[in-house]
Structure 1
Amino acid sequence: IGHGITEKAVNEEDEWPSIFEKVKEADIVLIGSPIWLGEQSSITTQIIERLYGGSSLTNNKGQYIYYNKVGGVVVTGNEDGAKHVSRSVLYALSHIGFTIPPNVDTYWVGEAGPGPSFIEAEGYKNDFTMQHVEMMA
């Protein structure tokens, strides 16, 4: 992803215009973020800023483009902060017009500090984690 929030501000190597077209076509948009120092990643912040940059656009019915789109978040990391990141992302999506139903966040965090990945730790076999994933789906 390059810099800028409008198509005029992107460069030729920027993937955002094609990503934004997919967002406009989607019914459900999930934002994924790792946890960095208890916060969402800078790339996640940039995605939200870019979505915000398009929030005043309307569809062919005159509705804002995020109207009736469902937003959700997936957070991974090896430190605490998953609920904080989820809250921040979901609020931002709600603020720019996405519908945020209950249980649209899921996360997996290992122990604090460097540790195994989700697959290495066999987190996908954890009943609590899988219940959250199923509820979100």
Structure 2
Amino acid sequence: MTAYHDLSALFINCSLKPSREPSNTEALMQVSQGVMAANGVSIETIRAADLDIAPGVQPDMREHGFSRDDWPDVQAKVMAADILVIGTPIWLGDKSSICTRVVERLYGYSGKLNDKGQSAYYGRAGGCVITGNEDGAKHCAMNLLYSLQHLGYAIPPQADAGWVGEAGPGPSYADEDSGGPQNDFTQRNTTFAAWNLMHMARMLKDAGGLPAYGNLPEAWEAGARFDHPNPEYR
């Protein structure tokens, strides 16, 4: 059986609640974490609401007028992880405001390059977990998975999982009698997503990431065209 014990996964929970309060998003994320931990993957969870994450799209916003910014420490954890899973509740049909800020801060590091000259995020797998009691789970997943792949993450098949209760006021995922933990569709998709993220991270790690040919920004700027149909294009 394939081994995963040398992989690490970072889960960023973008609930609007600090960690002193229970999070339904975290409750569903724990299903994915349990699958990974059972296979030896090292797991770390960050509750973004606990931190002072400055707005902006630069690696360290303290260099741009903010007195405090906890994001650089989070970024270091992101770069050390083979798998990144972003979890968010649904508010007004979209991801949380904290989740938007997390994505913006991830974007702020996208100009960095790895030792091959590719985007620094290449060679990592990304996925998401969505919870709420209103419509919008697929919309949030599309938004997050597009954002992650745009940054350079590899998105495996079935890399999202979610639970949505009845529209309007009602029990959330972790509430008694919500039906969420017993929902076969949600539990199946969360399990599949965990395994697909592990499989993708395993393949990427074993392959040393993605091949560098055809995706090097500096080589393109220097004139390389990587079989572009018009070699005279400049």
What TM-score, normalized to structure 1? 0.92
Q: CA deviation at 1:12?
A: 4.8
Higher Rg of the two aligned structures: 2
Q: Larger deviation: 103-112 or 54-63?
A: 54-63
Matched, 1:41 2:88: no
What is the CA–CA distance in structure 2 between the aligned matches of 1:116 and 1:103, rounded to whole Å?
26
Matched, 1:135 2:192: yes
For 1:73, what is the secondary structure of its paired residue? strand
Change (3 A) 1:29 1:42: same
Q: Larger deviation: 68-77 or 58-67?
A: 58-67
1:117 maps to 172
1:85 maps to 140
1:67 maps to 122
Q: CA deviation at 1:95?
A: 1.0
For residues 88-103 of structure 1, the aligned pairs below 5 Å read: 88-103=143-158
- Residue type of the alignment partner of 2:152: G
Once the two structures are superposed, residues 3-30 of structure 1 have per-residue CA deviations (whole angstroms, 9 ceiling, x without a partner) of 2222442345422111110001111111
Once the two structures are superposed, residues 20-41 of structure 1 have per-residue CA deviations (whole angstroms, 9 ceiling, x without a partner) of 1000111111111111111111
1:25 maps to 80
Give RMSD over aligned pairs.
1.4
- Residue type of the alignment partner of 1:101: P
Check conservation: 2:125, 2:153, Cα contact below 8 A: yes
% identical aligned pairs? 51
For 1:22, what is the secondary structure of its paired residue? helix
Q: Larger deviation: 115-124 or 17-26?
A: 115-124
What is the CA–CA distance in structure 2 between the aligned matches of 1:118 and 1:48, rounded to whole Å?
24
2:61 maps to 9
What is the CA–CA distance in structure 2 between the aligned matches of 1:39 and 1:7, rounded to whole Å?
25
Change (3 A) 1:54 1:29: same
For 2:181, what is the secondary structure of its paired residue? helix
What is the CA–CA distance in structure 1 between the aligned matches of 2:170 and 2:141, rounded to whole Å?
22
2:48 maps to none
Q: Larger deviation: 17-26 or 57-66?
A: 57-66
Corresponding pairs, count: 137
What is the CA–CA distance in structure 1 between the aligned matches of 2:57 and 2:99, rounded to whole Å?
13
Q: CA deviation at 1:61?
A: 3.7
Unaligned runs of 5+ residues in structure 1 are: none
For 2:139, what is the secondary structure of its paired residue? helix
Unaligned runs of 5+ residues in structure 2 are: 1-52, 195-234
What is the CA–CA distance in structure 2 between the aligned matches of 1:8 and 1:20, rounded to whole Å?
10
What is the CA–CA distance in structure 1 between the aligned matches of 2:77 and 2:159, rounded to whole Å?
20
